[in-house]
Structure 1
Amino acid sequence: MTEQQEPQAPADDALQAPDSSGVAQEAGDELTNAERAILAAAQAATTATTELTMAANPLRDPRDRRLPRVAGPCVLVLFGVTGDLAKRKLLPAIYDLGNRGLLPPGFSLVGFARRDWAHEDFAQVTYEAVKEHARTPFREEVWKQLSEGIHFCPGEFGDDGAFDVLAMMLREIDETRGTGGNYAFYLSVPPKFFPLVIEQLKRTNLAKGPDGSWRRVVIEKPFGHDLKSAQELNAITSAVFPESSVFRIDHYLGKETVQNILALRFANTLYEPIWNRGYVDHVQITMAEDIGIGGRAGYYDGIGAARDVIQNHLLQLLALVAMEDPTSFDADALRREKEKVLRAVKLPADLATGTARGQYVRGWQGGEPVVGYLEEQGISSDSATETYAAVKLEVANRRWAGVPFYLRTGKRLSRRMTEVAIVFQRAPHLPFSKDDTEILGHNALVIRVQPDEGITVRFGSKVPGTAMEVRDVNMDFAYGESFMESSPEAYERLLLDVLIGDPPLFPHQREVELSWNILDPIEEFWASQGQPEGYASGSWGPASADAMLARDGRAWRRL
């Protein structure tokens, strides 16, 4: 998502306070005791001022005093290294972390897959993925250090012998690389293999390390396909790993603009006083894709847009937008507030009019003809899987009572865009004629998550001229223009958090279950409704989605 840019200073570079120690050393014995005392007091005062300034930032993790967050000695074991996610995101992110100086010299990467590869073969695969997809510039010295710790273990998930070899390999890496028995196991595999891999880690005693070391497991979404399966998956995982060692990755929570929702709300007095039912008319949360399912037929068919996106990405965004201010920004405090929101979510009374689903048919995308979903390779001609889903939700609490939250996601839509739009109520009185404000809409605050990360504020302004004509204008903040450094990819941030053991950006099991509580009744209703409504590829979805808002006197934002 992020374009290649010139190398910049890492965002986590240390912020150093002025240091007078060098002056004292240079002066040597020429300083009197009184002068030394004055210098020491000045240095202490400067340090205290710097620490006080940093501590005053409500978004600053108290453990992070602008010092680089560097992972300690460890091994990352990556199951599913031949998959698209590993090649496009995970392997490049590991290199980018190393390039930013955030991995220790002894960091090691072990790939596990059903391939007859030697260590050098996996290193070459990693090299090609880095060269093609890394965000930061390629540096030979960084690659040399990283490649020295790359290993590969061939085998299948049900092969006891392969996991015995993996256990022996990790012990050898501990001895030669000084990784201290600290292992993170990343399950970049289909969910059906989660129980098998976790059981193998238990059998080989890889899930529990010696005192002073840690073991963590990383699970990619989907976290089940309904509430029951999510609970079964959690039972399997929690029997082997404690909850504090389970990291469920929702890569949207690692995006800078998603994290900026918290900064926007809680670091500014400008917005929080109007962030409620007294001023907000409604909220729209959109994740639109302009591509089809590609080669994901085996995964996507039977899952659909709602399970793939709404249950995790969009409900997490809703929780961040609607939550009350936490007492701190540690994991437990954030989770408590998000869980309160998810518990308060109400479904529409009539699911037929308060939800919409669709399935793309033939059309045009980017000037090229494209096939419909039922014509995609690997898709059954009678599949009822939706590629578009929209739902109207409410948050039944004092802050949001009566404010609808409209969530939508779809494939083969007109353009790629993810945004959160806070749409405000109209002014209670306009001292203008109807003609003066004929094309004036609602004020809106729009948080753009991708592709053009930033924030837009829409408000009314007078059109230059002799008449009093008021129309909408936009005031725009763009990350790429305001910050002179490249934003880390989401997987960079999340992988580093795993290796450090920092959990705020990872959904807790209770959040997962609450999300399924919201979605399961909708999925059950849709299952009784036959085929989804067709919509043309390159459009903005089925007519029923527009009708859902039109009944409320509203319309989807034009993206």
Structure 2
Amino acid sequence: MVSRIIPVEAFDLVIFGGTGDLARRKILPGLFRRYCAGQMPDGARVIGAARSDMDAAGYKDMVADAIREFGGGRSCEDGTLDAFLDRLHYVAIDARGETGWSELTDLMRDSVQVRAYYFSVAPSLFGDLAERLHSHGLADDQSRIVVEKPFGRDLQTARALNASLAEHFDESQIYRIDHYLGKETVQNLMAVRFGNTLFEPLWNAQYVDHIQITVAETVGVGGRGEYYDKSGAMRDMVQNHLMQLLCLIAMEPPAKFDPGAVRDEKLKVIRALDKVEPHHIVRGQYAAGPDNPDFREAVGDARSKTESFVAMKVGISNWRWAGIPFYLRTGKRMSARSSEITVVFKARNHSIFEEDGEDHRNVLSIRLQPNEGITMKVTIKEPGPGGMRLVDVPLDMSFAEALGEDGGDPPDAYERLIMDVIRGNQTLFMRGDEVEAAWAWTDPIIDGWTARGDVPKPYDSGSNGPTDADQLLARDGRIWREVRP
């Protein structure tokens, strides 16, 4: 199998927050991997910009250390790393002042086709950076900005953030990045649905019984306690990551595979979401485990009512999905790290195998992490004599096994999305109206918790969340799919 790589133009990429944790762990190692894959053309440059007072040599040393630690085993001893570091520059800059901006202006080139600015900083600085890029003549029609979540903390702040960016950049120049959309399996979800005659005719209320979306983490809040206590699982995970997965699994086929068409269909899903009743939501807080404090101790607030776990039953009022429940679940300190979408199809209307009393159903599982892949559970005859005994077996496609060496070295989510920014492809990025629609659906849920004084249910670290989450499905005669490592 030969992969077709779309070339990119020469570019200048400025990483604001270029010495921060995200830049060290993901952005810079990802760029190095793309360089090794031949996707950084001659003349492409990466410019780190941050408050840290260091020179170019010190920045290159920091980046080299980050690549050795987080570069995924890429060889750094054959001269490739040195060649990549030669493309790096650094500017000490003040996002809210004037320090460093003249130096950055002098460093930028008029000859390149693409100028991209990655805002790897707190959202409170987005507006300041956009304004200074504009005032110093660094924002033109070819410029693009990349902004990290959170995109506000409610509808009001999201609108304000969008308005602030829109003062200096057109919507076509703004790339709101959600790394979940860069995962290979998430994109394969669209290929499975819209590239195969087999699935799309069955992708509706007539054949689907229900759909589960689970994003489970084994880690706690770690060093993000202050942020997480103000955010919680609903704002941190459901409003963006799970919402995006829900949109991709539920959206109508776009007229064509381009950014506008795909994002139009995703927006329609969000606007069709039903109001979630309080008894269809379960919140939880993890308790202390053998090796970890409980949630309240981790965030430093003994009275915190913030959730580390959310499970909910969601409906979509449109022709395709009316009456079909979508069960969403996410939490920290759970039994295994796993992100999976499960499509459970309805039982047969009639079984000719009268002696078989089991409820055999086809189940399609799309696994996002770890071990990305797709599994389809089908029913066959159990081998051997003794009559027609049925057994369920998986048709399993692990991407690593199926593609093997010919599959190359697929990029991780950040690598793919950064290259999409350079190519000008917004398909896998959220549009402003999409973000606002998601908050418009989320805000009433959070406001309801506050108004009622709801307290999250405790759950054991290393479990699958509060037992109330199991009851959420049990009331409908269903069970959660097992969280597997």
From 301, 315, 339, give the equivalent of 1:418.
339
Does 2:163 match 1:235? yes
User: Secondary structure of 1:483's match?
Assistant: helix
Q: List aligned pairs for 1:361-380, cutoff 5 A.
A: 361-364=287-290, 369-376=291-298, 378-380=299-301
Does 2:107 match 1:186? no
Q: What's 1:557 paired with?
A: 481
Unaligned runs of 5+ in 2: none
Q: What's 2:150 paired with?
A: 222
**TM-score normalised over the length of structure 1:** 0.82
From 254, 257, 276, give the equivalent of 1:329.
257
Does 2:5 match 1:83? no
Q: What's 1:247 paired with?
A: 175
Does 2:284 match 1:358? yes
Label 1:519 to 1:441 Cα distance change in 2 as closer, same or farther (>3 A): farther
CA contact (8 A) 1:374 1:380 kept: yes
Q: What's 1:491 paired with?
A: 414
Does 2:463 match 1:544? no
Q: How many angstroms does 1:109 deviate by?
A: 1.1
Q: List aligned pairs for 1:368-447, cutoff 5 A.
A: 369-376=291-298, 378-433=299-354, 436-438=356-358, 440-447=359-366
From 344, 347, 362, give the equivalent of 2:272.
344
Q: List aligned pairs for 1:294-305, cutoff 5 A.
A: 294-305=222-233
Q: What's 1:469 paired with?
A: 389
User: What letter corresponds to residue 258 of structure 2 in structure 1?
Assistant: D
Between the aligned partners of 2:103 and 2:303, the Cα distance in structure 1 is: 45
Between the aligned partners of 1:397 and 1:337, the Cα distance in structure 2 is: 12
User: Secondary structure of 2:265's match?
Assistant: helix
In our comparison, the structure showing a higher alpha carbon Rg is: 1
Does 2:443 match 1:517? no
Q: How many angstroms does 1:544 deviate by?
A: 1.9
Q: Deviations over 1:510-543 (max 9, x none)?
A: 1111111221111111223332111110000012
Between the aligned partners of 1:482 and 1:556, the Cα distance in structure 2 is: 28
CA contact (8 A) 1:437 1:469 kept: no
User: What letter corresponds to residue 550 of structure 1 in structure 2?
Assistant: A
Q: What's 2:423 paired with?
A: 500
**TM-score normalised over the length of structure 2:** 0.94
CA contact (8 A) 2:154 2:439 kept: yes
Q: How many angstroms does 1:458 deviate by?
A: 1.4
Q: Deviations over 1:122-166 (max 9, x none)?
A: 111111111222246325443233222211111332221222322
Does 2:84 match 1:146? yes
From 400, 412, 425, give the equivalent of 1:480.
400
Q: List aligned pairs for 1:7-406, cutoff 5 A.
A: 12=3, 66=4, 68-135=5-72, 137-138=74-75, 140-170=78-108, 174=109, 179=112, 182-208=114-140, 214-348=142-276, 350-351=277-278, 353-364=279-290, 369-376=291-298, 378-406=299-327
Unaligned runs of 5+ in 1: 1-8, 13-65
Moved over 4 A (4+): none
Q: How many angstroms does 1:358 deviate by?
A: 0.5
Between the aligned partners of 1:70 and 1:357, the Cα distance in structure 2 is: 46
CA contact (8 A) 1:291 1:411 kept: yes
Q: Deviations over 1:71-117 (max 9, x none)?
A: 21211111112222111110011111111111112111111112111
User: What letter corresponds to residue 371 of structure 1 in structure 2?
Assistant: P
CA contact (8 A) 2:92 2:99 kept: no
Q: How many angstroms does 1:326 deviate by?
A: 1.2
Between the aligned partners of 1:286 and 1:109, the Cα distance in structure 2 is: 36
User: Secondary structure of 1:473's match?
Assistant: strand
CA RMSD of aligned residues (A): 1.8
User: Secondary structure of 1:295's match?
Assistant: helix
User: Secondary structure of 2:422's match?
Assistant: helix
Q: Deviations over 1:279-317 (max 9, x none)?
A: 100000110001111111232221111111111111111
Q: How many angstroms does 1:433 deviate by?
A: 4.4
User: What letter corresponds to residue 152 of structure 1 in structure 2?
Assistant: Y
User: Secondary structure of 2:153's match?
Assistant: coil
> Which protein has greater RCO, CA pairs closer than 8 Å, 6+ apart?
2
User: What letter corresponds to residue 373 of structure 1 in structure 2?
Assistant: F
Tell me the number of residue pairs that the alignment of Structure 1 and Structure 2 aligns: 477
- The percent identity for this pair of structures is 43
Q: Deviations over 1:380-399 (max 9, x none)?
A: 11121110011211111111
Q: Deviations over 1:29-81 (max 9, x none)?
A: xxxxxxxxxxxxxxxxxxxxxxxxxxxxxxxxxxxxx3x32221211111112
CA contact (8 A) 1:284 1:406 kept: yes
CA contact (8 A) 1:105 1:145 kept: no
CA contact (8 A) 1:342 1:515 kept: yes
User: What letter corresponds to residue 140 of structure 2 in structure 1?
Assistant: K
Q: How many angstroms does 1:441 deviate by?
A: 4.5
CA contact (8 A) 1:426 1:442 kept: yes
CA contact (8 A) 1:356 1:391 kept: yes
Tell me which moved more, 293-302 or 442-451.
Answer: 293-302
Q: How many angstroms does 1:456 deviate by?
A: 0.8
Q: How many angstroms does 1:363 deviate by?
A: 2.3
Q: Deviations over 1:319-360 (max 9, x none)?
A: 111111111101111111111111111123x32x11111110
